[in-house]
């Protein structure tokens, strides 16, 4: 049974936005120049760095492979769409890695990433999220800088470095969710979280074309040096400008601190309370998020790691064009995730729709829509304009899911949001581990029919996840997720 039923949720629309214990209304703090929106922007920059470091290898890999090696395809299925590359850009090392080895290298990041999801959420709840997230990304930055050295030492060393990068980044989403549990007023969650996590899409949008240009004009090693430097700058800013909670922030106004803490006082339980692991693991609304998150990430990670390969081997784009065009789908996703966050909160604030209806509607649009256009993209043949258009629309529509299942953890259990995200992201990391390996195994000859199979599998998994979440998802705080003194259920 839900802690707050649908009737209670509707009744809340008729009450003042926030109330003190003595029933005096608490004034909403302005968003402009506020600490909570400052945190959202710094988090956006942080996830920009995290995803730039994650995806730059996808573009660099195209340039790292010896295309004259037996077993590698040296020409694309479709006619070449780009000019020949200047010869001076071939100064960096190239490697004789076959298709299977490439799949393992691209997927190795997620073997480390999966290890620190649940520990990340737990540690952030107990010790605070600021330094956990900061040091996690810093570690990824350091290992990114040594990537060229690892590649020269051999595929095994490169895989090991990517695993270590994944371990560092594995704490980022659980820590950020835990942080927002203390910072995000309920009716601003969609806005604040979509601004934060839009950095992931923005990092992809910038990293893909910039990596392609760096490879084109310099060589692939500089991809890792440039983004490593950008990451170091973020860590310095994060260290001085961010605090784990409003109470420990040095420059937050009293009005904003009161606004945030008052809005959350009935939803949060003390961090000293024991975690109700049994209730968490037996919660069907949580498993609805798990299934949706797993399904969405199957498509997302498959394209994230292999779209540059598809652009090169099937559509015939040069390394420079490849990065630019591979970024278009994520540009659309970034824009629609931001717009979706504004729309989702607006629908909830005006009480036209309950939280659960908004979450399910945005999940359906953000998962079934991409499935349709992904399948369509596989049937465009060598019509590269239509192929890029369909892939862009597919990923763009996926941006709506940012206001769907992706932040539903904060709706059903804000006190344990970091832990819940750690659990769901653990399962959602599995597609990143096996998706690229399976996709590369299904495309040994890089034929259009082989890639169509990859797209059909991704679309089918996406549709299943959307339907499962629609049936079993919830939008209200669950009874096990609140302090005992507030709970109506035992």
Distance CA 103, CA 430 (A): 14
Q: What integer pLDDT is reported at residue 485 of this predicted model?
A: 36
| H or E stretch covering 235 | helix 221-241
| Among 32, 407, 413, residue whose Cα is nearest residue 256 | 32
Angle between helices 319-349 and 284-313 (to 10 degrees): 150
DSSP for 166-181 reads HHHHTTHHHHHHHHHH
Least confident of 34-43, 246-255, 375-384: 375-384
358 or 189, higher pLDDT: 358
What is this structure's pTM?
0.74
Give just the sign of the alpha carbon dihedral 29, 30, 31, 37.
Answer: negative
- Please report the pLDDT score of residue 320 as a whole number: 62
Locate the domains of the chain by residue range: 6-14+30-486
Q: What span, in angstroms and rounded, lies between the C-alpha atoms of 128 and 175? A: 8
3 state SS for 39-61: HHHHHHHHHHHHHHHHHHHHHHH
In Å, what is the CA distance from 177 to each residue of 68, 409, 447? Answer: 46, 8, 41
* pLDDT tens readout for residues 276-298: 889 999 999 999 999 999 999 99
Tokens for 352, please give them: 């036209």
CA angle 23, 28, 30 (to 5 degrees): 165
Do 152 and 97 touch, CB atoms closer than 8 A? no
CA distances from 359 to 279, 407, 473 (A): 22, 8, 8
d(CA 179, CA 239): 15
Residue in this structure with the two tokens 């359906």, named with its chain if needed = 364
List pLDDT tens digits, range 207-264. 888 888 888 888 889 999 999 999 999 999 999 999 988 888 888 998 888 888 888 8
Full DSSP string of 108-141:
HHHHHHGGGHHHHHHHHHHH-SHHHHHHHHHHHH
In angstroms, what CA-CA distances link 119 with 272, 425, 485?
16, 12, 28
Q: If you classify domain 6-14+30-486 with CATH, what class do you get?
A: mainly alpha
């Amino acid at each position: 049974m839900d802690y707050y039923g649908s009737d209670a949720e509707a009744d809340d629309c008729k009450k003042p936005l926030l109330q003190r214990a003595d029933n005096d209304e608490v004034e909403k703090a302005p968003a402009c120049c506020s600490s909570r929106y400052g945190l959202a922007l710094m988090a956006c920059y942080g996830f920009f760095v995290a995803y730039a470091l994650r995806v730059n290898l996808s573009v660099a890999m195209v340039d790292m492979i010896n295309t004259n090696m037996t077993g590698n395809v040296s020409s694309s299925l479709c006619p070449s769409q780009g000019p020949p590359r200047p010869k001076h850009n071939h100064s960096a090392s190239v490697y004789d890695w076959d298709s299977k080895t490439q799949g393992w290298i691209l997927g190795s990041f997620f073997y480390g990433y999966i290890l620190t999801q649940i520990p990340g959420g737990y540690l952030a709840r107990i010790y605070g999220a600021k330094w956990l997230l900061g040091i996690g990304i810093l570690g990824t930055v350091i290992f990114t800088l040594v990537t060229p050295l690892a590649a020269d030492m051999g595929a095994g060393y490169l895989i090991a470095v990517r695993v270590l990068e994944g371990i560092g980044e594995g704490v980022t989403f659980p820590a950020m969710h835990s942080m927002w549990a203390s910072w995000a007023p309920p009716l601003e969650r969609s806005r604040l979280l979509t601004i934060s996590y839009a950095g992931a899409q923005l990092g992809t949008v910038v990293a893909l074309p910039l990596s392609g240009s760096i490879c084109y004009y310099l060589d692939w090693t500089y991809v890792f040096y440039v983004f490593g430097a950008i990451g170091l700058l973020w860590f310095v800013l994060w260290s001085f400008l961010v605090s784990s909670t409003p109470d420990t922030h040095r420059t937050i106004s009293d009005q904003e601190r009161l606004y945030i803490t008052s809005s959350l006082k009935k939803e949060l339980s003390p961090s000293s309370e024991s975690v109700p692991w049994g209730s968490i693991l037996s919660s069907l609304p949580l498993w609805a998020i798990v299934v949706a998150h797993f399904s969405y990430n199957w498509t997302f990670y498959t394209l994230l790691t292999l779209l540059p390969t598809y652009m090169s081997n099937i559509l015939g784009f040069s390394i420079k064009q490849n990065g630019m065009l591979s970024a278009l789908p994520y540009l659309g996703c970034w824009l629609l995730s931001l717009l979706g966050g504004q729309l989702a909160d607006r629908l909830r604030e005006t009480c036209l729709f309950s939280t659960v209806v908004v979450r399910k509607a945005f999940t359906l649009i953000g998962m079934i829509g991409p499935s349709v256009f992904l399948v369509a993209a596989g049937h465009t043949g060598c019509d590269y304009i239509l192929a890029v258009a369909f892939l862009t629309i597919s990923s763009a529509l996926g941006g709506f899911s940012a206001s769907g299942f992706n932040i539903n953890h904060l709706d059903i259990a804000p006190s344990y949001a970091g832990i819940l995200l750690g659990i769901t992201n653990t399962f959602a990391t599995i597609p990143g581990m096996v998706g690229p390996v399976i996709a590369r195994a299904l495309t040994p000859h890089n034929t259009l029919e082989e890639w169509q199979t990859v797209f059909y599998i991704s679309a089918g998994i996406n549709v299943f996840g959307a339907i499962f979440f629609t049936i079993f998802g919830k939008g209200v705080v669950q009874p096990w997720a609140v302090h005992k003194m507030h709970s109506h259920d035992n």
